[in-house]
Structure formats: structure tokens, C-alpha cells
């Protein structure tokens, strides 16, 4: 018999268990706070800063809501649910805005313990639910995306679907009309919070329908559940959906016996509304991007071949099984036990079958990237909790049973605790970097643009209150191409002209109702070009006429871009007219420096042979073309010493103030980023320095 021994507890005990689980979850998230609080370089406005780039997009939206306005076409996320919730909380809580966005993930994300405990209670297994709450709240994947500072919509992205699971299990267990409305409410809330929930909830609808056909196809209550799921999915306002659910509930409640002749026309009508308001189109878009690794650039015409940003996102890449298991359950062994327990629980408690879409979505991570593992965490936690209770329930002495259960739970929690202790993610920016952005805010206007890589788009807009070409949500190939071109081209004239052109056409594109091309091709066509190579050649000519200047443009070059420069290069060092696999230029950076006397070891088989002026790359000897030592003196002035040894070969830059070596070819040496950030070399006719410190260089475009 796989069913566990039933247990019934009072509501007071239930509340106490919820409080204990919640405080445990929150306290684990304060480990990060205790580690980083003493470090002043991670503070701004007397508070620790957040540690996720996307969080600044939501923070910008909340700030704009609180200010009551934002600039047209500034890409603000003021309409996002998390921004609205944050703005609301900011008006009622007596804490600073920085404190609010820092701790929201911890206090809101920890709410996951409530539906997990309630699921256990619905199955008369509150102890199982309590253990699942402890484990699920700190599992690697869930912790990583709800830790203190991870200000993102993930703080409720798993809470809501787990709440859906509870409402469905409750309805399937008791089969009463009063449990139908919570289904629609939980789904409507999830849809409001997270637009991508549309696909998951549609799968949930299909699961219930299959459940009904498999176990009791004549039981109309199962189809009622499917109907109320569908109402929650509809692409209508949340109030309309809840209102519709209440009306139907009242209608069903008034019927002593619901006629199929009445029910099925209602059902078909709601299905019709589903297809009219969206159908499966949003699902196909998500499948194309995340499962088949396609591009979302098909919203407008794209005739050129751009580099797909998904290829550079680690979360969308393949992961080994061990990583998959650890992110879901903390350890491979606990994952296997959780999987066995989950299967046993499915057999013992049939209503748990509705959790299969959630687990299935999590298991997609095996071939579509670790971002999905978080979805499997709650139900695998229930599976692990089930098997722990199952293994100890045969112990006759209750005190010994609970002691054994507590010890096994502690063992299951331990790998997650170790992960939390070691997972010390730093803040997105340091105090020094934010200080530069704050100074830029006082110089630039809200209509001005800052050109940089998309990783820094949201933080720049939050701290400097300006516009950007690209950010964490707008980074398709057509907009990444000009940014990459500006940062890596060896022609400063072309870089400057591209900055002016793409800025002006970005703004024009917002107002052009007839625009059918993507941003880059729109600019090309308006400038009279069909061939991108011809455009780039002409762009470099002195006589190329630029559109009228409508605003200032700034170039943002942070030291941290050094680590991703090869990735940035991928987006413009390509043939736009034909797919190609051209060899990329060479760039290597290292701080793992060991001077042996005769050699300087840079790690990964890279070393400098001092006497021969040779760079050793594995088994290959490459002559050193030029050696540059760059550093700041006591007055913070940049000093550059250079030596030339050969007409051909590789270049080496020693950034003394950073303790870093750069090994790079001529392509990178002459690129915009290296010349203007590392050497402070710039064309004074095109640029003027606005802010320059060791961590950040900001230049203003003069044309």
C-alpha cells in the first residue's frame, strides 16, 4: 500500500508549521546579506544593490510609476506586473525603494512554502507538505532565482503555479463547486503576473481533459474544472475572467442537476473565445525560441543573417544530468529519491497527476537549458518528502519516527545549505560604477541615448535615466549588430556615424506606422541602401551626410565588458548576406599570472617567453608584435609604455592597475573598445570624454 498513514492536524498547528517553514526560507536568504553587507563597494544609497540585471528593468518601471510619468519610447517596464506591485508596496511600506527591491525576492519568494504545505494538507499529509516546503524553498534552482537581491518576476513564477496545483488537487479531492473559483483566480493571477504562463496553463487544461477521459469520462465535474482553467487562461483582463468565473459558479450552483445540453454549449463558447483571443500562437512563439532555439525576429521582415542571441545565453544551453539533478533537488542521490518518491506519490494519490505539466516543464531543462529546472522543484520536493515519510512511517514509536524523519530531512537539506553558503553572487555593479552613472544622470537628459552592450541597458536606464538602443529584453540580431559594430570596429569615423544614424532611426521607427522592417534594415532602406556592405563602405567616407541631430548620444565603456568582448564581436563580425562560419579574431584575458623568471604563465597553456619575445599558445609559438604596459599613476593619470618587436604576430597589453594581461590580435587592438577604454585614444573631432575613471569611460558624441 503506497498511501501514507493519514494525519489530521488543527488549523493552529498548520499555521505554526507555515510560519516555521517561511522563517526558515527567509533566514537562509539572509546568509548572502550577512556576507555582503560589510563590503562597501556593493552599496548605494545606504543599501546593498541587487544582483540581477533584469531587476533594473523592473525597478525602472516601478520608479516611473512612482514619478507618474516616463519618456515616450524609453522602453520602460512601467506596465509590468512586478513594477506595479513594487510601486504599490513602495507607497505603503516605511522602507527605502532600494531596501524594497533588495528584499522582495526573499520575502515574496518564500511564500512557496504555503501552497506546498497546503497540498500536503489536501492529501491529509501535512507533515509531507511541511518537509516539501523546507526542501523546495531552498533547492538550488529555486534559491538562485529568489535569493536576496534577485529582484525578478521569478519571485512569484513558481508560487502561482504551485498554488494552481493546490486548487486543482483540492477540487479533484472534494469535487464541490465552491473549489472551482480558486482555480480561475490562481490561474488568472499567474497570467497577470507572467505572460509566458499561457503555454503552461494551456497544457494544464489538456491534462485535466485527459484525466477526465482516463478515469471518469462521465463525471461532468472534471469538465467543469477544465472549463474554469480555460477561463483563467483567456486573454482578457483579470477582473473580467474572475467575474465570468463567479457568474458561471452561481449558475452551476443554482442547478440541482446540470444538463449536458446546457454545459457543453457553454464549454464550446469558452473554447471559441480562447482561440479568438490568442489560441496557440503565443505557445508556438515560446516553443520556437526556447525549445527549438529559433529566433523571435520574425515579427518584422528580416532579409539579412544576424547572430542569434539565444546562442550566447547559458540558461538556454544544454546541461549535464548532474547539474540538472542538483538544481532540482540539491544532489543527484536526493534527486533520484525524489523522482522515485514522486512516481510512488502519483500512484498513491491520483490528483497529483495534475502536477505532471509542471514537472514536465522542469524536465525540459535536460535539452533546453537550466532556466527550466526551477519548475520541477516544488513537485520533486513533494516526491522527496513523500519517500522520507514513507521510509519512516513503519517506526512504531512516534518520537523515534519524528527524530528519524527530522534527521533524514536535515540530510536532504544539507547539500542545499552548502550551495547557499557558496553561491555568493555579487551585485550587478559596484559603487564606483554606479557613481559614474549617477554623474551621467546629472549631465544627460532623459531623451539622450547611451550606446553600449545589452547587458548594461537596464542598469544604465535606472541609474542615469536615459534611453538605450538595447537591453535585456530588446537584443535581437538587428539591434545587436550596430551596437557590436560601434564597440568593435577599427574605424572611429564609422563608429561615430553609426551612433548618430541608428539613434535617429531608432526614434523615427517608433513613429513610423508603416514600418515593416527590423530596425537595422529600416535604417539601411531609409538611407537608400540594399546591400549592407555597400552601406558600411560608404559610411566610412568623409562626405557621408548624416541626419539632423535631435539629441545627444553617449558611448559607455565599462571595464567589465572586457570579459565578454569576444561575445560582443560575434554579432557584427559576420557576413550579413550569407550564413558564414568565419574564424573569429583572437582575444584572451587573464589575471592568473605567474612569473617564473624566464616566462610569464597566463594559464590555459598561454605563456610569454621573455627572452625570445614569443607567445606560446599550447604547442604553437607566435611572435609578439607589440607589448603595451598601461596603468594609472598616483594622480590617476593614464600612463602607456609600448615596445614593438615584430611586423607580424600577436599583441600583449599588461594592464598594471588591474593586474590583467590581454593577448589580442590587431583586430581587437584597434577596436573602439580597446582604443578608447584601455588607451584613452579617441578622435577629438568625433568624441569628447565626459567621465573617465579606471572602471568606466563615457564619451559624448560630437556629431
Q: pLDDT digit string (tens) for 223-242?
A: 999 999 999 999 899 999 99
Confidence of residue 301 (pLDDT cuts 50, 70, 90): low
Residue 302 is predicted with a pLDDT of 65
Task: Say if residue 254 is in the same domain as residue 371.
Answer: yes
Structural element, H or E, at residue 234:
none
Same domain as 170, residue 262: yes
Measured over the CA atoms of residue 395, residue 397, residue 402 and residue 408, the dihedral's sign is negative
Residue 648 domain-assigned? yes
Number of other residues whose CB lies within 10 A of the CB of residue 374 = 24
Q: What whole-number distance in Å separates Cα of residue 183 and Cα of residue 196?
A: 18
Residue with the three cell numbers 514619478: 67
Statement to judge: residues 629 and 486 lie in one domain: no
Same domain, 418 and 436: no
> Which residue, 647, 664, 681, sits at the end of a domain?
664
Within a domain: 514 = yes
Helix 356-363 vs helix 197-215: crossing angle, to nearest 10: 130
Write down the pLDDT at residue 289: 52
In 3D, which of 83, 165, 104, 103 has the Cα closest to residue 129? 165
Please state the rounded mean pLDDT for residues 574-599. Answer: 90
Domain membership flag for residue 695: no
Of 422, 439, 467, the position where a domain reaches its end is 422
Give domain status of residue 477, yes or no: yes
User: For 380-426, how does the pLDDT look when each residue is reduced to its tens digit (9 = 90+)?
Assistant: 999 999 999 999 998 989 899 999 999 999 999 999 999 999 999 99
642 and 537 inside one domain: no
Residues 204, 119, single domain; the answer is yes
Q: What is the per-residue pLDDT across 46-88, written as a single tens digit (0 to 9) for each?
A: 999 999 999 999 999 999 999 998 888 999 999 999 999 999 9
Secondary structure (3-state) at 632: strand
Between the CA of residue 150 and those of 154, 250, 329, what are the distances in Å?
Answer: 8, 42, 20
Does 206 share its domain with 176? yes
Q: Which residues contact 611 (CB under 8 A, 6 or more apart)?
A: 598
C-alpha–C-alpha distance, residues 450 and 436, integer Å: 13
- Of the three residues 402, 422, 442, the one that is the final residue of a domain is 422
Does 700 map to a domain? no
On whether both 557 and 610 belong to a single domain, the answer is: no
Distance of alpha carbon 152 from alpha carbon 143, whole angstroms? 13
For 481, the 3-state DSSP assignment is helix
pTM assigned to the model: 0.91
Q: In total, how many domains does the chain have?
A: 3
Quickly state the pLDDT bin for 299 (edges 50, 70, 90).
very low
Alpha carbon distance 131, 375 (integer Å): 18
- Is the four-CA dihedral 336, 337, 340, 343 of positive or negative sign? negative
508 contacts: CB under 8 Å, gap ≥ 6: 526
pLDDT digits (tens, 9 = 90+) for 169-187: 999 999 999 999 999 999 9
Q: Kindly calculate the radius of gyration of the chain based on its CA atoms and give it in whole angstroms.
A: 29
Percent of the chain, pLDDT > 70? 96
* Cβ proximity of 182 and 159 under 8 Å: no
Average pLDDT over residues 118-128: 97
CATH number of the domain residue 435 falls in: 3.40.1380.40
Q: At what angle do helices 238-254 and 220-233 cross, to 10 degrees?
A: 160
In-domain check, residue 622? yes
Those residues with Cβ within 8 angstroms of residue 463's Cβ, 6 or more apart along the chain or in another chain: 56, 429, 434, 437, 438, 440, 441
Its domain, for residue 524, covers 431-570
Q: Provide mean pLDDT across the span 614-640.
A: 92
Alpha helices in 237-320 (DSSP H): 238-254, 260-276, 281-286
pLDDT value of residue 283: 63
Q: Are residues 545 and 660 in the same domain?
A: no
Question: How much is the mean pLDDT over the chain?
Answer: 93
Q: How far is CA 164 from CA 161, 182, 500, in A?
A: 5, 8, 50
Domain match, 509 and 615 both = no
Q: Which residue has the cell 577596436?
A: 671
438 and 418 co-located in one domain: no
Examine residue 579 and state whether it is found in any structural domain, yes or no: no
- Whether residue 697 is contained in a domain is answered as no
Spatial CA neighbour of 387 closest among 174, 135, 172, 138: 135
Together in a domain, 94 and 226: yes
Amino acid at each position: 500500500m503506497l498511501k501514507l498513514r493519514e494525519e489530521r492536524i488543527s488549523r493552529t498547528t498548520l499555521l505554526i508549521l507555515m510560519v516555521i517553514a517561511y522563517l526558515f526560507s527567509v533566514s537562509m536568504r539572509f546568509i548572502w546579506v550577512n556576507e555582503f553587507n560589510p563590503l562597501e563597494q556593493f552599496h548605494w544609497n545606504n543599501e546593498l544593490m541587487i544582483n540581477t540585471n533584469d531587476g533594473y528593468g523592473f525597478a525602472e518601471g516601478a520608479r516611473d510609476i512612482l514619478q507618474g510619468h516616463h519618456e515616450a519610447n524609453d522602453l520602460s517596464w512601467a506596465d509590468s506586473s512586478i513594477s506595479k506591485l513594487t510601486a504599490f508596496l513602495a507607497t505603503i511600506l516605511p522602507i527605502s525603494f532600494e531596501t524594497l527591491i533588495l528584499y522582495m525576492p526573499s520575502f515574496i519568494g518564500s511564500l512557496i512554502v504555503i501552497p506546498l504545505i497546503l497540498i500536503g494538507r489536501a492529501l491529509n499529509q501535512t507533515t509531507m507538505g511541511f518537509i516539501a516546503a523546507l526542501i523546495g524553498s531552498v533547492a538550488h534552482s529555486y534559491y538562485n532565482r529568489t535569493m536576496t537581491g534577485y529582484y525578478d518576476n521569478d519571485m512569484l513564477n513558481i508560487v502561482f503555479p504551485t498554488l494552481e496545483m493546490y486548487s486543482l488537487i483540492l477540487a479533484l479531492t472534494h469535487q464541490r463547486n465552491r473549489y472551482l473559483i480558486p482555480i480561475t483566480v490562481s490561474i488568472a493571477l499567474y497570467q497577470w503576473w507572467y505572460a509566458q504562463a499561457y503555454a503552461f496553463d494551456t497544457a494544464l487544461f489538456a491534462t485535466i481533459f485527459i484525466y477526465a477521459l482516463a478515469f471518469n469520462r462521465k463525471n461532468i465535474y472534471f469538465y467543469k474544472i477544465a472549463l474554469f482553467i480555460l477561463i483563467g487562461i483567456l486573454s482578457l483582463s483579470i477582473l473580467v475572467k474572475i467575474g465570468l468565473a463567479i457568474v458561471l459558479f452561481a449558475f452551476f450552483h443554482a442547478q440541482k442537476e446540470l444538463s449536458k445540453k446546457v454545459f457543453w454549449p457553454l464549454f464550446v463558447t469558452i473554447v471559441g473565445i480562447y482561440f479568438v483571443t490568442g489560441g496557440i500562437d503565443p505557445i508556438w512563439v515560446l516553443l520556437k525560441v526556447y525549445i527549438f532555439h529559433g529566433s523571435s525576429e520574425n515579427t518584422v521582415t528580416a532579409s539579412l543573417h544576424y547572430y542569434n542571441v539565444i546562442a550566447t545565453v547559458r540558461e538556454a544551453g544544454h546541461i549535464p544530468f548532474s547539474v540538472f539533478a542538483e538544481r532540482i533537488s540539491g544532489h543527484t542521490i536526493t534527486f533520484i529519491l525524489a523522482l522515485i518518491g514522486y512516481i510512488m506519490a502519483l500512484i498513491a494519490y491520483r490528483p497529483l497527476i495534475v502536477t505532471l505539466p509542471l514537472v514536465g516543464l522542469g524536465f525540459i531543462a535536460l535539452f533546453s537549458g537550466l532556466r527550466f529546472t526551477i519548475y520541477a522543484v516544488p513537485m520533486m520536493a513533494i516526491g522527496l518528502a513523500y519517500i522520507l515519510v514513507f521510509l519512516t512511517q513503519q517506526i512504531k514509536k512516534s518520537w523515534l519516527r519524528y527524530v528519524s524523519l527530522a534527521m533524514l530531512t536535515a540530510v536532504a537539506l544539507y547539500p542545499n545549505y552548502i550551495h547557499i553558503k557558496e553561491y555568493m553572487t555579487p551585485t550587478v555593479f559596484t559603487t564606483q560604477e554606479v557613481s559614474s552613472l549617477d554623474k551621467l544622470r546629472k549631465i544627460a537628459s532623459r531623451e539622450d541615448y547611451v550606446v553600449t552592450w545589452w547587458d548594461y541597458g537596464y542598469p544604465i536606464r535606472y541609474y542615469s535615466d536615459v534611453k538605450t538602443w538595447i537591453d535585456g529584453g530588446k537584443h535581437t540580431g538587428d539591434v545587436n549588430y550596430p551596437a557590436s559594430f560601434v564597440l568593435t570596429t577599427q574605424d572611429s569615423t564609422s563608429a561615430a556615424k553609426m551612433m548618430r544614424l541608428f539613434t535617429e532611426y531608432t526614434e523615427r521607427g517608433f513613429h513610423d506606422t508603416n514600418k515593416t522592417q527590423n530596425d537595422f534594415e529600416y535604417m539601411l532602406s531609409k538611407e537608400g541602401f540594399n546591400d549592407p556592405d555597400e552601406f558600411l563602405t560608404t559610411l566610412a567616407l568623409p562626405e557621408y551626410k548624416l541626419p539632423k541631430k535631435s539629441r545627444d548620444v553617449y558611448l559607455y565603456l565599462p571595464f567589465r565588458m572586457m570579459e565578454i568582448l569576444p561575445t560582443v564581436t560575434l554579432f557584427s563580425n559576420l557576413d550579413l548576406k550569407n550564413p558564414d562560419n568565419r574564424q573569429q579574431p583572437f582575444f584572451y584575458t587573464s589575471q592568473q599570472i605567474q612569473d617564473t623568471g624566464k616566462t610569464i604563465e597566463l594559464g590555459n597553456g598561454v605563456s610569454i617567453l621573455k627572452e625570445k619575445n614569443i607567445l606560446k599558445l599550447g604547442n604553437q609559438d607566435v611572435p609578439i608584435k607589440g607589448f603595451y604596459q598601461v596603468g594609472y599613476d598616483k594622480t590617476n593619470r593614464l600612463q602607456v609604455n609600448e615596445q614593438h618587436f615584430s611586423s607580424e604576430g600577436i599583441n600583449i597589453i599588461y594592464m598594471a592597475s588591474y593586474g590583467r594581461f590581454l593577448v589580442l590580435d590587431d583586430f581587437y587592438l584597434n577596436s573602439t573598445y580597446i582604443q578608447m577604454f584601455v588607451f584613452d585614444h579617441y578622435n577629438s573631432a568625433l568624441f569628447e570624454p565626459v567621465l573617465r575613471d579606471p572602471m568606466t569611460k563615457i564619451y559624448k558624441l560630437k556629431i
